[in-house]
């Protein structure tokens, strides 16, 4: 008799025991992706009625608050929440662009093997970071959606990928906002130093994987071809017409990654899903934000002129147009939107000498990660290098003090200085004192 092969463990016993002992604490918060830490989506966590550390709350001053209706408006960045009592305990709110695939009960607690082997296909094909849930038997896979996919076509909150027995899990984020009791324990080797942003094609792959046939509406071909009521004559051959170049919305030169979203907003395609304010004020606010983030050369003066264009466009659609807004109204709105973008760290000033990178920030981070993996960097140098790229925030030329790099990478300042000497010999960064230039 031949013995059955022993299943390969997906995680180690040490990780399994670690995650079950955390009791709401975030494991090594410094190792989490910087953009995830900076998002103001974090809340405190305490025990629920079942004794599990999954119940969120927040503080107003020093007073504990538990009103569920205010949880979404009372979130903070990670370190602010970790410093509150009880220390080091937190979870985050998945909503809109921050999403989580919550996969339930796929790790056998005895053999520590993966009971759903197809999950490997998902996380390897998509290069996603994978974290253990507090039970040690489930997985949390966070990722970020681009602007044009803030509300993806999710057939249902509950997933439908399962081939074995047990619960499936849920999709959290998009239109299904929910709190996530997060451990921060990443599963090697699926512990990438960034929060993955997926594109439309990658989302389609995820959708088909998590909700196969039978989940939601499926597009199917008819069993038989549908005939026309009356047959038509064969069309006469005519010379092909040259395609005319399409005029960009409002004549603005939009960034490539914003073009699809801008067209959707212009046609009103996403009005219902976003629950957007369709008043004149709401329209102008939305478009000013898109202009400041999505146009290739935004300026404050340009934003004011653009706001007037938007007003004129929507006034032309009104049966009884109201009185035109004053110039001061447009100017005030531009400042309000711009200040909100600065507060949310979605917009920034460039200091003298700094330059915006021509490459999208997520693509730059991915290239940096691949570069680090393909060289013989010391582990400490690799950590410093990836932190420098993250702190660039999409700039190709920028200034960073050694102490700031040291604090953000968890390294000593002397280690940072030594790493800079090694990095300056490569072909990714040019370093002159505290001035960094990414060689694109």
Phi, psi of 376 (to 5 degrees): -95, 45
> Are residues 301 and 397 located together in one domain of the fold?
no
Is 231's pLDDT higher than 70? no
Mean pLDDT value of segment 378-390:
90
Domain edge (last residue) among 343, 367, 399: 343
Quick: pLDDT tens for 131-142: 999 999 999 999
Mean pLDDT value of segment 95-123:
88
> Are residues 152 and 96 located together in one domain of the fold?
yes
Query: Rounded CA gap, 334 and 307, in Å?
Result: 8
Mean pLDDT value of segment 72-96:
89
> Are residues 321 and 398 located together in one domain of the fold?
no
> Are residues 43 and 158 located together in one domain of the fold?
yes
Domain edge (last residue) among 320, 343, 366: 343
Quick: pLDDT tens for 16-37: 999 999 999 999 998 899 889 9
Domain edge (last residue) among 183, 210, 237: 210
| Residue 174: closest CA among 153, 193, 195, 205 | 153
> Are residues 23 and 146 located together in one domain of the fold?
yes
Q: What is the pLDDT at residue 255?
A: 80
> Are residues 318 and 424 located together in one domain of the fold?
no
In a domain, 96, yes or no: yes
In a domain, 1, yes or no: no
> Are residues 34 and 158 located together in one domain of the fold?
yes
Lowest model confidence (mean pLDDT) among 91-95, 247-251, 265-269, 415-419: 265-269
Q: What is the pLDDT at residue 2?
A: 52
Please identify which residue in the block is written with the tokens 């999950």.
119
What CATH number is attached to the domain comprising 405? 1.10.10
> Are residues 333 and 366 located together in one domain of the fold?
no
User: What is the share, in percent, of the chain residues with pLDDT greater than 70?
Assistant: 83
Report residue 41 as tokens. Answer: 């989506």
| Residue 116: closest CA among 72, 185, 151, 163 | 163
Q: What is the pLDDT at residue 220?
A: 35
Is 74's pLDDT higher than 50? yes
Quick: pLDDT tens for 85-104: 889 999 999 988 899 999 99
In a domain, 222, yes or no: no
Edge-to-edge strands, sheet with 435-438: 355-356, 395-399, 435-438, 429-432
> Are residues 256 and 152 located together in one domain of the fold?
no
Quick: pLDDT tens for 190-211: 888 888 888 887 888 888 888 8
Is 345's pLDDT higher than 60? no
Helix (H) or strand (E) holding 142, with range, is strand 139-144
Q: What is the pLDDT at residue 150?
A: 66
Is residue 293 very low, low, confident or very high in pLDDT (cuts 50, 70, 90)?
confident
> Are residues 264 and 325 located together in one domain of the fold?
yes
What's the domain range around 109?
13-210
> Are residues 69 and 164 located together in one domain of the fold?
yes
> Are residues 383 and 325 located together in one domain of the fold?
no
In a domain, 230, yes or no: no
Is residue 348 very low, low, confident or very high in pLDDT (cuts 50, 70, 90)?
low
In a domain, 218, yes or no: no
Which pTM was predicted? 0.51
> According to the per-residue pLDDT averaged within each range, which of 258-262, 342-346, 382-386 is highest?
382-386
Is 110's pLDDT higher than 80? yes
**Total structural domains within the chain:** 3
Q: What is the pLDDT at residue 232?
A: 44
Higher pLDDT, 148 or 293: 293
| Averaged confidence pLDDT in the chain | 81
């Amino acid at each position: 008799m031949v013995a059955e092969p022993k299943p390969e463990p997906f995680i180690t016993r040490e990780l399994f025991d670690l995650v079950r002992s955390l009791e709401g604490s975030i494991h090594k918060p410094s190792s989490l992706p910087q953009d995830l830490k900076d998002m103001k989506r974090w809340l405190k966590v305490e025990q629920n009625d079942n004794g599990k550390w999954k119940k969120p709350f927040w503080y107003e001053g020093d007073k504990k608050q538990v009103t569920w209706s205010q949880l979404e408006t009372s979130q903070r960045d990670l370190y602010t929440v970790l410093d509150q009592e009880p220390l080091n305990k937190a979870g985050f709110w998945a909503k809109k662009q921050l999403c989580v695939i919550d996969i339930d009960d796929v790790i056998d607690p005895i053999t520590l093997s993966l009971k759903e082997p197809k999950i490997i296909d998902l996380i390897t094909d998509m290069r996603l970071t994978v974290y253990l849930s507090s039970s040690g038997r489930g997985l949390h896979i966070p990722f970020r959606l681009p602007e044009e996919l803030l509300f993806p076509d999710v057939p249902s909150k509950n997933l439908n990928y399962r081939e074995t027995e047990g619960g499936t899990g849920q999709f959290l984020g998009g239109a299904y906002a929910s709190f996530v009791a997060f451990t921060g324990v990443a599963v090697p080797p699926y512990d990438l130093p960034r929060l993955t942003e997926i594109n439309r094609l990658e989302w389609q792959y995820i959708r088909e994987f998590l909700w196969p046939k039978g989940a939601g509406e499926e597009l199917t071909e008819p069993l038989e071809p549908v005939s026309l009521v009356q047959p038509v004559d064969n069309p006469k051959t005519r010379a092909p017409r040259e395609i005319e170049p399409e005029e960009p919305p409002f004549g603005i030169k939009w960034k490539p990654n914003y073009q699809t979203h801008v067209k959707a907003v212009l046609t009103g395609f996403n009005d219902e899903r976003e629950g957007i304010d369709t008043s004149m004020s709401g329209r102008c606010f939305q478009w000013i934000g898109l202009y400041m983030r999505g146009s290739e050369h935004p300026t404050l003066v340009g934003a004011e002129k653009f706001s007037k264009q938007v007003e004129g466009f929507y006034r032309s659609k009104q049966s009884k147009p109201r009185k035109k807004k004053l110039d001061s109204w447009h100017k005030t709105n531009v400042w309000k939107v711009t200040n909100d973008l600065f507060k949310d760290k979605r917009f920034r000033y460039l200091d003298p000498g700094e330059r915006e990178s021509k490459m999208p920030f997520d693509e730059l981070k991915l290239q940096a990660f691949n570069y680090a993996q393909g060289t013989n960097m010391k582990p400490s140098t690799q950590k410093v290098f990836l932190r420098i790229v993250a702190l660039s925030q999409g700039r190709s030329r920028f200034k960073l003090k050694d102490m700031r790099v040291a604090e953000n990478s968890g390294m000593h300042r002397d280690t940072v200085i030594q790493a800079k000497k090694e990095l300056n010999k490569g072909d990714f960064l040019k370093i002159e004192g505290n001035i960094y230039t990414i060689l694109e």
